[in-house]
């Protein structure tokens, strides 16, 4: 194994209440792992019990970062104060650069059945925290899948081999893959130079070197260029593999606001309380 991952640290997901009482499984953004530059939060919803998700995420603000929401099973409806709305169904995803500020909601469109998905918060550099908001939403069929003998890779952000996702994040160079590995088979991947990278196992289990990686485990893959070799367990495995360029700036955060200083957080709170939160009405929407 390459030196990039010669020391395996495993962080199990922790169940926490979020929104109006939704149970999410959190790794990044927990007390154990406050952030992983440029990533601020990784939440995993996974339940077939309506009481775990039916309350949803009523109207709430964001400022200073980008959210990426990926649905695997179930339906989640998005609405925001700019008049945008959409139904995130199985396999679909939404990239939303909140930047200077949006107010939106995410509510389940189902009363029962399985709900599974992820939300990743990606920080923005100081020079872009007050940019115009941007919004992209794509159905499942918009995302290419690379099929190999031992694994498949759904390319959600960035590039894998010669395959490009419909979503690119030019500011932090994020790549985001949904990888299925056949039982006992390998997934080997070279990490981008200078990036912070991680994987999260959400079906089955596997190994990195001599270290077993159980279900619902988050593993940092280190900074700098290197490669890793993930071997799926007897039932196979499914995992997220995510990478991004560190920003290297101070992080000040309070709930849904992520800025660089406490004064900027105070300003965001004041703007929200005074109904002056959305700074620019020129919403840029690319919905393909």
pLDDT of residue 287: 35
pLDDT of residue 281: 47
pLDDT tens for residues 167-217?
998 899 999 999 999 999 999 999 988 999 999 999 999 999 889 999 999
For residues 52 and 282, which has the higher predicted lDDT (pLDDT)?
A: 52
Distance, CA of 267 to CA of 288 (rounded, Å): 34
Q: What is the mean pLDDT of residues 153-173?
A: 95
CATH class label, 11-139+258-287: mainly beta
- pTM, entire model: 0.92
Residue positions forming the annotated binding site for Fe cation: 60, 62, 104, 106
pLDDT of residue 1: 41
Residue positions forming the annotated binding site: 60, 62, 104, 106
pLDDT tens for residues 17-26?
887 678 899 9
Give yes or no on whether 11-139+258-287 and 143-249 have one common fold. yes
Distance, CA of 246 to CA of 156 (rounded, Å): 20
pLDDT tens for residues 229-269?
999 999 999 999 999 999 999 999 999 999 999 999 999 99
Q: Is the pLDDT of residue 221 over 50?
A: yes
Q: What is the mean pLDDT of residues 269-282?
A: 75
pLDDT of residue 198: 96
CA–CA distance from 14 to each of 28, 149, 213 (Å)?
Answer: 10, 34, 16
Domain boundaries along the sequence of the chain: 11-139+258-287, 143-249
| pLDDT class of 85 with cuts at 50, 70, 90 | confident
The CATH number fitting domain 143-249, selected from 3.30.9.10, 2.60.40.2550, 2.60.40.10, 2.60.120.10: 2.60.120.10
Q: Is the pLDDT of residue 286 over 80?
A: no
CA–CA distance from 67 to each of 70, 94, 158, 162, 286 (Å)?
Answer: 10, 8, 15, 26, 15
| Cα atoms found within 13 Å of the Cα of residue 126, Cβ hemisphere only | 9
């Amino acid at each position: 194994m390459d030196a990039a991952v010669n020391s395996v640290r495993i962080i199990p997901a922790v169940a926490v209440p979020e929104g109006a009482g939704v149970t999410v499984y959190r790794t990044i953004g927990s007390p154990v792992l406050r952030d992983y530059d440029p990533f601020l939060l990784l939440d995993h919803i996974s339940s077939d019990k309506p009481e775990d998700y039916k309350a949803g995420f009523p109207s709430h603000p964001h400022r200073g970062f980008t959210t990426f929401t990926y649905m695997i099973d179930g339906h989640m409806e998005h609405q925001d104060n700019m008049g945008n709305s959409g139904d995130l169904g199985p396999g679909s995803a939404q990239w939303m650069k909140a930047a200077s500020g949006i107010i939106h909601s995410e509510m389940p469109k189902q009363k029962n059945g399985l709900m599974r998905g992820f939300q990743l918060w990606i920080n923005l550099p100081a020079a872009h925290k007050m940019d115009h908001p941007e919004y992209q939403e794509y159905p499942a069929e918009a995302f290419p899948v690379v099929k190999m003998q031992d694994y498949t890779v759904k390319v959600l952000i960035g590039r894998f081999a010669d395959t490009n996702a419909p979503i690119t994040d030019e500011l932090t160079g994020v790549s985001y893959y949904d990888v299925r590995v056949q039982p006992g088979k390998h997934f080997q991947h070279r990490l981008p130079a200078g990036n912070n990278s991680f994987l999260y196992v959400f079906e089955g289990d596997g190994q990195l070197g001599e270290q077993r990686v159980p279900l619902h485990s988050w593993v940092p893959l280190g900074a700098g260029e290197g490669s890793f070799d993930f071997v799926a367990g007897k039932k196979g495995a499914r995992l997220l593999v995510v990478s991004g360029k560190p920003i290297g700036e101070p992080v000040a955060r309070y709930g849904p606001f992520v800025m660089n200083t406490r004064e900027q957080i105070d300003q965001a709170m004041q703007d929200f309380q005074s109904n002056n939160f959305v700074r620019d009405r020129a919403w840029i929407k690319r919905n393909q």
